[in-house]
Amino acid sequence: MLIKKPADIPPSEITPETIYRERRHFIQGAAALAALAALPTQAALPAYKKGLYGTTEPANSLKEITSYNNFYEFGTDKSDPAANAYTLRTRPWTVSIEGACRRPKTWDIDALTQAFPLEERIYRLRCVEGWSMVIPWLGFPLASLLQQVEPTANAKYVEFVTLQDPKQMPGQRRPILDWPYLEGLRLDEAMHPLTLMAVGLYGQELPKQNGAPIRLVVPWKYGFKSAKSIVKIRLVERQPVSSWMRAAPREYGFYSNVNPEVDHPRWSQAKERRIGEFLKRPTLMFNGYGEQVAHLYAGLDLRKYY
């Protein structure tokens, strides 16, 4: 459970004992309960296990992971999301899974987080701009969720839709992208055991700048495929047109697999700079996950299908 019901929490767990005693002077009875419910709680996630697909590379620090972000809904500078994402309201929050499936369902985010066992997956994230990080995600395989809705034979692709609300997301007041942020995967990519729905990192609830309360993580693709703050997942027959494909079709294809041999028109993809390091390191095919995913693209011309 992400947030415990107030009745289950001893007040001492929410505020230091002294503060709680001071509050008692002026809060009584039902009013006290209401006030407790309104207090910010340190979000606790259910127990989790270490995943099978982690890397042994050292993870970036929490500070690095939460202060250098791409989340254009909150501005285009790397420091903007950390400064601006506080306006995002992550409760109540629902995720609808719809389209070509027998059992479409709208999940409450807390029920969703409890429904699937959480795993820690330490994944490399490679941004198409040429930097990378190692992030200890907490999440569950997207496949577990998709199996529940029973995709039909018409489900060939999966579309991911970020929240659209310019009141909460100031970046959406400007036409930087065709909002809401939209991404897509082929069904077999979505069902791959590496593909994660992340609800936390470093053992805690996902920080807002990293895509709270739930975001996609596809570690062998460029970072922009990993859509943040998702409200809708649609099973569809036709290949989705992502926000980046729509904005710059010559620069962004549907697949967007990390590939050191196929350059982006503006950035070489041969090397990358790990955040926190000075020297660049070579970029690995499929971001180093080739052994697990290369078979998905057997026979596909990766220069054409970039």
Ligand X SMILES: Nc1nc2c(c(=O)[nH]1)N[C@H]1C(S)=C(S)[C@@H](COP(=O)(O)O)O[C@H]1N2
**Binding residues for Mo ion, per CB under 5 A?**
70, 127, 223-224
Instruction: Say if residues 179 and 74 touch (Cβ distance below 8 Å).
Output: no
From candidates 162, 195, 269, 287, binder to ligand X by CB under 6 A: 162
Instruction: Say if residues 136 and 120 touch (Cβ distance below 8 Å).
Output: yes
Q: By C-beta, is 72 or 140 nearer to ligand X?
A: 72
Does 231 participate in binding ligand X (rule CB under 6 A)?
no
Burial class for 39, CB neighbours closer than 10 Å (0-12, 13-18, 19+)? middle
Measured at the CA of 120, the angle between CA 216 and CA 71, to 5 degrees, comes to: 35
Q: Tell me which residues in 53-92 interact with ligand X (CB under 6 A).
A: 69-73
CB of 247 to Mo ion, least distance (A): 13
Distance CA 74, CA 76 (A): 7
Does 93 participate in binding ligand X (rule CB under 6 A)?
no
Q: By C-beta, is 51 or 211 nearer to ligand X?
A: 211
CB of 204 to Mo ion, least distance (A): 23
CB of 70 to Mo ion, least distance (A): 5
SS3 274: strand
- 69's contact among Mo ion, ligand X, none, with CB below 5 to 8 A by partner kind, is ligand X
Q: Tell me which residues in 116-145 interact with ligand X (CB under 6 A).
A: 125, 127
CB of 39 to Mo ion, least distance (A): 36
- 245's contact among ligand X, Mo ion, none, with CB below 5 to 8 A by partner kind, is none
Does 226 participate in binding ligand X (rule CB under 6 A)?
yes
Does 205 participate in binding ligand X (rule CB under 6 A)?
no
Burial class for 28, CB neighbours closer than 10 Å (0-12, 13-18, 19+)? exposed
Count how many residues are written for the chain.
306
Write phi, then psi, for 80 (nearest 5 degrees). Answer: -65, -50
Residue with token string 């390191």: 281
Residue with token string 């010559």: 250
Residues that bind ligand X (CB under 6 A): 69-73, 125, 127, 162, 181, 210-211, 223-224, 226-229
